[in-house]
Structure 1
């Protein structure tokens, strides 16, 4: 089994490489920045080699990328996406894509329940059922469960992939990911 701890940027492109090689992806919710408080924080400049690489990778993958000035606490959005993955898996890919674009393209605040609701509705999520799961805490508990699974495998942040019991915990070049996928197919697992 291959799993992927959900995040953003070029992770979608890496997942496509794995799928193209015939590997199955099981996505786990994992909050990238649990230290961001309710209300979020201002983001500083995105300078340096890592950001340049992420921007290049996003361009090459055909993913628009506009760094947001504000970093929200994304726990509710993550809980909504995890709930959709578990209870309406057919709409989950659309919701994941819409929430990614809301934050990294449109600059929308993923902490705002109205933003999450709008994208959930547009993706076909049963909003009443989602609201019930958010209200009773079961959607948030699902995130906690998947984070614990990730931590049990050594995941400390995103992006992260587990390929044949080998944890890949940083974004690698597309060429290196092609090699990792090929290696994973050759090993028993």
Structure 2
């Protein structure tokens, strides 16, 4: 009896490619692949309050708009690049994978689909509760610093796997980062079985 294929995936809530990568992970899961999610703060230099974003025009943003539309994901750009550490830290407190998946989807949607403030702890606590998590555990993890330490441990794990950016996937001794076509993920899922 063969083991269920498993993929390790690193993401950051401020990454638009990661937002669309939710669709690619859905493809993997539909093909029987277990996707283990790991937060990775890709811009630790962006602190509280975020950073002003420049104009979001050009081929990269046209590509992102097309891919988001094809995946059925609304895409609204804000004028800031978010400070994502509180959201990533909240994610680390959610032990139940289904709760964590619901939380992640709602955070991505709040930021990229609705243009909400990803740094808002009130918003993150509300999304935690709606996903079925315990907001008090999240609050305690923030206050104790455990949430930040957990994100740090995930960054060390990423480094050990050679991951330097997001979205990134690792499986079967193979790793890659960046967004690839859906069809590529269908083929990759088949090769993992």
TM over 0.5: yes
Q: 1:171 aligns with which of 171, 174, 179?
A: 179
Q: Work out whether residues 9 and 54 of structure 1, in 8 Å CA contact, stay in contact via their aligned partners in 2.
A: no
After superposing on structure 2, the runs of 4+ consecutive aligned residues of structure 1 that deviate more than 6 Å are none
TM-score after normalising by structure 2 = 0.88
User: What are the equivalent positions in structure 2 for 1:48-59 lying under 5 Å apart?
Assistant: 48-59=58-69
1:181 shift after superposition: 2.2
Cα RMSD after superposing both structures: 1.5
**Within the alignment, does 1:162 sit opposite 2:170 as a pair?**
yes
- Specify every segment of 5 or more residues in structure 1 that has no aligned partner in the other structure, as ranges: none
- 1:109-158 residue CA offsets vs partner (Å, 9 max, x unmatched): 11121221222222232122221111111121111111111111111110
> Partners in 1 of 2:98 and 2:71 — Cα distance?
23
**Within the alignment, does 1:60 sit opposite 2:65 as a pair?**
no
**Within the alignment, does 1:6 sit opposite 2:11 as a pair?**
yes
1:90 shift after superposition: 3.8
Q: Work out whether residues 42 and 71 of structure 1, in 8 Å CA contact, stay in contact via their aligned partners in 2.
A: yes
Aligned length: 183
- Specify every segment of 5 or more residues in structure 2 that has no aligned partner in the other structure, as ranges: 1-5, 13-17
TM-score after normalising by structure 1 = 0.90
State the secondary structure of the residue aligned to 1:37. Answer: coil
Q: Work out whether residues 93 and 137 of structure 2, in 8 Å CA contact, stay in contact via their aligned partners in 1.
A: no
